[in-house]
Amino acid sequence: MFGTVVVGVGIAGLARIRDLMNPMPSSPSEHLKLLGFVSRRSFGNINEAKQISLEDALRSKEIQAAFISTENRSHEETIRMFLEAGKHVLVEYPMALSAKAAHELWEMAEQKDKVLHVEHIELLTEEYKQLKKEVAGKDLVKGTLHFTGHVLDENKTGFPAFSGIARLTWLIDLFGDLTVTSATREKQKDKNYSRMTVHFQTANK
């Protein structure tokens, strides 16, 4: 069994705890043992999973891997701490708020001989797999991807583009490398509203 810890207990972290405690039969998760979770808030236990301190998680020889599900801005620092402690790391996207930091973290993982994996669960769903089959072999002439969400705290999540980075990974996975041709942002503070519009071009224009 591979000892694991979940860091952060928002929506994603709670889903990780649930799945690790009730793994699907014959899935790789059956080889993972949840030894606790870390949170700034005090919970005690969640469904028999016990809360432990960050320091204990980093020091524990029984914990070999960390699942990081905190706000975007803290991903980079938390990854560094667990890699330095000799742990494998799975982190929810985005790994960091800059490409430079992401490359540094990957180099650090290589030097430590540890796995650093950025999770994008949507790419593993049946719906997405079906979409990928439908566009295979076709040329993209023009398309629009529109999605909405609640207003994010930029101090925690970073620049608004990061809230849409999951969909950007969709497009790159479906159509290859993209070039940004223009980007605009509209804000209406009185309505607590923000919209970002980005135009991309594929390699074959």
Judgement on whether residues 62 and 106 belong to the same structural domain of the protein:
yes
Count Cβ neighbours within 10 Å for each residue of 39-57 and write b for 16 or more, e otherwise. Answer: beeeeeebeebebbebeeb
Judgement on whether residues 148 and 106 belong to the same structural domain of the protein:
no
In a domain, 112, yes or no: yes
Judgement on whether residues 94 and 135 belong to the same structural domain of the protein:
no
Question: Of 119, 154, 180, which residue is a domain's last?
Answer: 119
Judgement on whether residues 95 and 160 belong to the same structural domain of the protein:
no
Judgement on whether residues 148 and 92 belong to the same structural domain of the protein:
no
Q: The CATH number of the domain where 168 resides is what?
A: 3.30.360.10
Answer yes or no: is pLDDT of 84 > 80.
yes
Amino acid at 139: D
Question: Of 98, 119, 140, which residue is a domain's last?
Answer: 119
pLDDT digits over 24-81, tens only?
A: 888 888 899 999 999 999 888 888 899 999 999 999 999 999 999 998 889 999 999 9
Query: How would residue 94 be classed by pLDDT, with cut points 50, 70 and 90?
Result: confident
In percent, the amount of the chain with pLDDT more than 70 equals 97
pTM here is 0.77
Counted domains in the chain? 2
Most confident of 45-54, 88-97, 105-114, 148-157: 105-114
Domain that holds residue 146: 131-202
In a domain, 125, yes or no: no
In a domain, 126, yes or no: no
Judgement on whether residues 53 and 104 belong to the same structural domain of the protein:
yes
φ and ψ of 141, to 5 deg: -95, -50
